A and B are shown apart, each in its own frame.
Chain A
Amino acid sequence: MAQRHRSLWHMIIAPVIWALHFLAVYCFSAIVCAKAAPFGWAQGGVLAMTAVALALIFWQAVLAWRQWDFLDDGDHVHERPTATSRREFLGHAGLLLAIVSFIAVTFVTLPVLFVGDCR
Chain B
Amino acid sequence: MSASDVSPTAPGSDVLDSPMQGVWPPTPAMLASPVDPDLSRAQAKRLRKAWETPRGWRHVTAVNNTHVGKWYAMTALAFMLGAGVLALLMRIQLAVPENGFLDSDRFNQFFTMHGSAMMFLFAVPMFEAISILLLPALLGTRDMPFPRLSAYGYWCFLIGGIFVLGSVLFDAAPSSGWFMYPPLATESEGIGADIWLLGLSFIEVASIAAAVELIVGVIKCRPPGMRINLMPLYAWYVLVVGGMILFAFPPLIAGDFLFELQRSLDWPFFDPDRGGDPLLWQHLFWIFGHPEVYIIFLPSIAIAAMVVPTAARVPIAGYSWIVLSAVGTGFLSFGLWVHHMFTTGLPALSLGFFSAASEAVVIPTGVQIFAFLATLMVGRARMILPMLWIAGAVAIFTAGGLTGVMVALAPFDWQVHDTYFIVAHLHYTLFGGMVFPVIGGVYYFFPVIKKKKLSERLGRWSFWLCFTGFNICFLPMHLTGLLGMPRRVYTYQADLGWNALNLVSTVGAFVLALGILVFVWDLVRPKRHEPHTPRNPWGAGTLEWTHDVPDEPWGVRSVPYITSRYPLWDQPELLARMDAGRFYLPDAPEGLRETMITSAVDAVPLHVARLSGPGWSPLVAALFTGGAFILPTFKIYTPAVICGLLAIAAILFWLWTATARIPEKPFKDGGLGLRLPTYVSGPKAPGWWAVFITMLGDATGFASLVFGMFFYWTARPDFPPPDSPHADPVLSGIAALLFGAAWAATRLARGLNAAGLIGAARGSLLAGPLLALAGCGALIAAILHLAPQTHVYPAMVWALVIWTVSHVLCGAIMQGYCLARSLAGRMTAQYDADLWNTTLFWHFLLATCLIGTAMVALIPRAM
Which A residues are within 8 Å of any B CB, using their own CB?
A: 3, 6-9, 11-12, 15-16, 18-19, 22, 25-27, 29-31, 33-35, 42, 76-79, 81, 83, 85-86, 89-90, 92-93, 96-97, 100-101, 103-104, 107-108, 110-112, 114-115, 118-119
Flag if B353 contacts A22 (CB, 8 Å).
yes
List 21 interface pairs A-B (beta carbons < 8 Å), by A numbering: A3-B13, A6-B601, A8-B600, A11-B327, A19-B334, A22-B353, A30-B347, A34-B715, A79-B319, A81-B562, A85-B229, A86-B229, A90-B228, A100-B324, A104-B360, A108-B335, A108-B353, A108-B360, A115-B348, A119-B347, A119-B349
Flag if A104 contacts B229 (CB, 8 Å).
no
Q: Report the bound CA distance from A118 to B230 in whole Å.
A: 49
Which has the most chain A C-beta neighbours within 10 Å: B11, B334, B352? B352
Flag if B331 contacts A19 (CB, 8 Å).
yes
Which of B340-374 touch A at CB < 8 Å? Answer: 347-353, 355-357, 359-360, 363-364
Minimal beta-carbon separation of B707 from chain A (angstroms): 9
Known: A12-B327, A81-B563. 17 other contacts (CB 8 A): A8-B228, A15-B327, A22-B353, A25-B353, A29-B349, A30-B714, A31-B714, A34-B715, A35-B714, A79-B230, A81-B230, A90-B228, A96-B321, A100-B324, A100-B363, A107-B359, A111-B349
Q: Report the bound CA distance from A8 to B263 in whole Å.
A: 43
B593 within 8 A of A: no
Flag if B348 contacts A78 (CB, 8 Å).
no
Minimal beta-carbon separation of A100 from chain B (angstroms): 5
Flag if B328 contacts A15 (CB, 8 Å).
yes
Q: Give 4 closest A-B pairs by Cβ, nearest first.
A: A111-B352, A89-B229, A34-B714, A96-B324
Q: Report the bound CA distance from A56 to B714 in whole Å.
A: 29
Which has the most chain A C-beta neighbours within 10 Å: B227, B334, B562, B713? B227
Total A-B Cβ pairs within 8 A: 135
Flag if A86 contacts B350 (CB, 8 Å).
no
Q: Report the bound CA distance from A77 to B331 in whole Å.
A: 24
Minimal beta-carbon separation of A92 from chain B (angstroms): 5
Which has the most chain A C-beta neighbours within 10 Å: B320, B321, B710? B320
Which B residues are in CB contact (< 8 Å) with A27?
Answer: 710
Given A34-B714, A77-B319, decide whether A104 and B349 contact each other with a Cβ distance below 8 A.
no
Which A residues are in CB contact (< 8 Å) with B669?
Answer: none
Which B residues are in CB contact (< 8 Å) with A12?
Answer: 327, 331
B602 within 8 A of A: yes
Flag if B324 contacts A26 (CB, 8 Å).
no
Which B residues are in CB contact (< 8 Å) with A33?
Answer: 347, 349
Flag if A114 contacts B714 (CB, 8 Å).
no
Q: Report the bound CA distance from A5 to B512 in whole Å.
A: 50
- Which of B14, B229, B352, B602 makes the CB contact (< 8 A) with A115? B352
- Which of A34, A78, A118 makes the CB contact (< 8 A) with B229? A78
Which B residues are in CB contact (< 8 Å) with A11?
Answer: 327
Which A residues are in CB contact (< 8 Å) with B787?
Answer: none
Q: Report the bound CA distance from A106 to B14 in whole Å.
A: 33
Which A residues are in CB contact (< 8 Å) with B602?
Answer: 6, 83, 86
Q: Report the bound CA distance from A22 to B361 in whole Å.
A: 14
Flag if A89 contacts B327 (CB, 8 Å).
no
Q: Report the bound CA distance from A8 to B599 in whole Å.
A: 12
Given A93-B320, A93-B323, decide whether A86 and B331 contact each other with a Cβ distance below 8 A.
no
Query: What is the chain A residue whose CB lies nearest that of B714?
Result: A34
Query: What is the chain B residue whose CB lies nearest that of A78?
Result: B229
Flag if A118 contacts B347 (CB, 8 Å).
yes
Q: Report the bound CA distance from A27 to B709 in whole Å.
A: 13
Which B residues are in CB contact (< 8 Å) with A81?
Answer: 225, 227, 230, 562-564
Given A78-B320, A81-B564, A96-B320, decide whether A104 and B332 contact each other with a Cβ distance below 8 A.
yes
Query: What is the chain A residue whose CB lies nearest that of B601?
Result: A6
Q: Report the bound CA distance from A118 to B352 in whole Å.
A: 11
Minimal beta-carbon separation of A114 from chain B (angstroms): 7
Q: Report the bound CA distance from A17 to B715 in whole Å.
A: 26
Q: Report the bound CA distance from A50 to B223 in whole Å.
A: 42
Q: Report the bound CA distance from A95 to B600 in whole Å.
A: 21
Q: Report the bound CA distance from A83 to B570 in whole Å.
A: 19
Given A26-B353, A79-B319, A115-B348, decide whether A100 and B230 contact each other with a Cβ distance below 8 A.
no
Which A residues are in CB contact (< 8 Å) with B28?
Answer: none
Which B residues are in CB contact (< 8 Å) with A7?
Answer: 12-14, 601
Which A residues are in CB contact (< 8 Å) with B352?
Answer: 110-112, 114-115
Which has the most chain A C-beta neighbours within 10 Å: B321, B328, B334? B328
Given A15-B328, A81-B563, decide whether A119 and B229 contact each other with a Cβ distance below 8 A.
no
B278 within 8 A of A: no
Query: What is the chain B residue whose CB lies nearest that of A83?
Result: B602
Which A residues are in CB contact (< 8 Å) with B563?
Answer: 81
Query: What is the chain B residue whose CB lies nearest that of A100?
Result: B328
Flag if B335 contacts A22 (CB, 8 Å).
yes
Map CB proximity to A onto B558-589 as digits: 1 under 8 Å, 0 otherwise.
00001111000000000000000000000000
Which A residues are in CB contact (< 8 Å) with B355?
Answer: 111
Which B residues are in CB contact (< 8 Å) with A31?
Answer: 714
- Which of A79, A83, A86, A110 makes the CB contact (< 8 A) with B356? A110
Flag if A79 contacts B331 (CB, 8 Å).
no
- Which of A9, A86, A96 makes the CB contact (< 8 A) with B12? A9
Which B residues are in CB contact (< 8 Å) with A83?
Answer: 602
Q: Report the bound CA distance from A78 to B714 in whole Å.
A: 49
Flag if B13 contacts A79 (CB, 8 Å).
no
Map CB proximity to A onto B227-241 as digits: 1 under 8 Å, 0 otherwise.
111100000000000
- Which of A16, A30, A76, A79 makes the CB contact (< 8 A) with B565? A79
